[in-house]
Amino acid sequence: MKLLSLVSAATIVTLAGCSAGGMKSADENTNPMVGGAPMYASKNIIENAVNSKDHTTLVAAVKAAGLVETLQAPGPFTVFAPTNAAFDKLPEGAVANLLKPENKAALTKVLACHVVKADALSAAIKTMIDDDMGKHPVPTIGGCTLMATYMGDKIMLEDENGRVAHVTIADVKQSNGVIHVVDAVLLPKQ
């Protein structure tokens, strides 16, 4: 159960606080903007994620699963963070159902399928894919195994049900790992 909590917590996304004034800090310049907010490599996943307007559903899910403290832990974590639009692609009512207190275990499992106990930047992921002849298995903290591939600059992850998520923003560095924003929710094997 603790392992699932660790994984689920890591599933949260990355986004960060706003900078004061017109100058960007060196920390802010190293990361892309996510959800209209600067991301700071000196802040943890939670400190950044709460500022992304594109990840409010993920943040709510992390809170409902009780994973906030986990995602504030040292890690390192690689989190494949689904956007609000990714959650909207799920069947009608699925998100509301998962957020119910009685479904906390299922929610935690879903979130944990987006978290890897490592700090893997996109270049490292592509190298692993190349080393494995075009497809690399990615075991998550939640017990799911994702299959990573890439075409050009775009990394794709396929869950055990055949759902494919594309990394839309890669390499958002955090103090406790890295976030890769994805366009689909990856699900445990059914």
CATH numbers and ranges of domains, the chain: 36-182 (2.30.180.10)
Residue 29's pLDDT is what?
A: 56
Residue 190's pLDDT is what?
A: 78
Residue that is written with structure tokens 């939670």 in the block? 46
Residue 71's pLDDT is what?
A: 86
Each as own residue / partner, the long-range contacts of residues 94-98 (CB below 8 Å, 24 or more positions apart, any chain) are 95/57, 95/61, 98/61, 98/64
pTM value?
Answer: 0.84
**What is the chain's pLDDT, residue by residue, as a tens digit (190 residues)?**
333 333 333 333 332 333 333 444 445 457 999 999 999 999 999 999 999 999 999 999 999 999 898 889 999 999 999 999 999 999 999 999 999 999 999 999 999 999 999 999 999 999 999 999 999 999 999 999 999 999 998 999 999 999 999 999 999 999 999 999 999 999 999 7
Residue 76 preceded by cis peptide, ω within 30? yes
